[in-house]
A and B are shown apart, each in its own frame.
Chain A
């Protein structure tokens, strides 16, 4: 256990009566991209804020880059790079000025500062915008600058808290590419996200957090295999739903689906679809829509939590899925995306 760059044991965080993180255990190995997946308010950001020394755990311990996050907070800070959920950047300053400030705060020698800043600006494609005020940057540019700032001291461990939330698809792909490149260069990455696809694309291993607890952990491929059966989704008239459920139950376990849709994990595999349709027809159920999905992280999530993440293909309508996560920054950051 001792060589892993991120280790959390029984990490707990209370905010008054609310228990935002309820004893999580994590071990992230060197060179991994670890995805921390969960809905808004599940406890992801609170966990990350504890691991990055911004918030003291109520109980439990965590070691990052070999140092205790409470006792050796300064050494942890020297070793990690962090891009938080909101790209927290002073809009009145320019990209180059912010990089210079960050370099000084991390103690980078004056002789190296300019070269390092220029390299990072080039890396994130902001050289031309370096002398512009950040207030003129697009959301994607801000995220890229945020990433550059977090890399100024060449950290061995990088925390990315919902790095692509609110970004357009192109900017998202660009950031994914950069995360992959950083990981190839040896950086251990802990990535929190509420996007299943992001976790699936980037993470070597993932943990699903819900109501402050880790409910599943493992390689995406293993977790999907664990779900086993493919999911058959049907839509029918509301007055026929009960009859349809009764039929579907005979083919496997019912799974959560979007509003107006029913899902079932087919025990006998996709080959059973024809038989399901025949039985539904015999029961007088008129099927309006039918689809079959191979197990996905969405199914893993649904199986682990009993509901689907908002934004996933089979998600229920907007509603709060988790414990309301107390605002550790005293500011609302929980707008539904």
Chain B
């Protein structure tokens, strides 16, 4: 090992800021994505697979009376996007568990940076990945015949919904990761998030559901997010077509669930010390 160091760092020189730390953590997350593409691939393949298989298999759904669109791919593309986004979010929980298990997270926890940056940085990195996935899905969807009914706004709303779902999924994944600190959390993350999604209007519209499933789907805030996501892909005559009142519910659900998941994360992160 070599001899002395020359730079003198005084305590007053040290300024940690949440956004600077978050930016560096985003960078780390994206470096890992680039160097381990196999971990990212399912996030990309899953929405495309969903969109292709569901729109093909359940093509006949569009023949139902008052079905919101006559193109099955218009209906299932937002579902594929949502699945991919949720998968990205939950994937963040998996990465956290890996970091906790190999001790890297101790390094992050021992640093004086704000705890918020430890959460926000990786979540924002997920946003970047989800945006990339969304672009690919939009292109694949277009090639399969998906056509927007509200122009650019159709894409904007679907992307907003995708980012929202990834934030909620990431928040839930991180929180469970902090609580369990091992792969037990992973199973709960997947099961709970996908169950919640499927008990919404993920696959069929509310008006064709009956019984308890209808009640649960109506109350499920994810239904509002799907309404936002699909508002630019349903027929202009459908009540779910692009309007502020349709978008508002989805945005509100995203906002509330994102804040709740951030609180859950911060509380769970504190628990690690105990």
Contact = CB atoms under 8 A, between A and B. Distances in A.
B28 A90 contact: yes
B273 A55 contact: yes
B110 A54 contact: yes
Contacts of B273: 53-56
A86 B102 CA distance: 8
A122 to B, nearest CB: 5
B191 interface: no
Contacts, number: 134
Interface string B8-38: 1101011111001101110110011001100
Contacts of B103: 84, 86, 88, 329, 331
B109 A54 contact: yes
B210 interface: no
A74 B20 CA distance: 17
Interface residues of A, number: 51
B181 A112 contact: no
B24 A174 contact: no
B100 A330 contact: yes
A233 B13 CA distance: 58
B111 A105 contact: yes
A299 B241 CA distance: 83
Nearest to A113: B7
Interface in A103-149: 104-109, 112, 115-116, 119-120, 122-125, 133, 144, 149
A224 interface: no
B109 A88 contact: no
Interface size range of chain B in the complex: 35 or more
B7 to A, nearest CB: 5
B6 A92 contact: no
Contact of B24 (A56, A104, A125, A330): A104
A177 B24 contact: no
A112 B104 contact: no
Given A77-B112, A78-B112, A125 B9 contact: no
B108 interface: yes
A104 B107 contact: no
A101 B28 contact: yes
A109 B31 contact: no
Contacts of A119: 5-7
A303 interface: no
Interface in A143-199: 144, 149, 151, 153-154, 174, 177-178, 181, 185
A125 B1 CA distance: 5
Contacts of B1: 123-125, 144, 174, 177-178, 181
A84 to B, nearest CB: 6
Contact of B14 (A78, A97, A331): A78
Contact of A90 (B9, B101, B104): B104
Contacts of A75: 112
Interface of B: 1-9, 11, 13-17, 20-21, 23-25, 27-28, 31-32, 35-36, 99-113, 181-182, 273-274
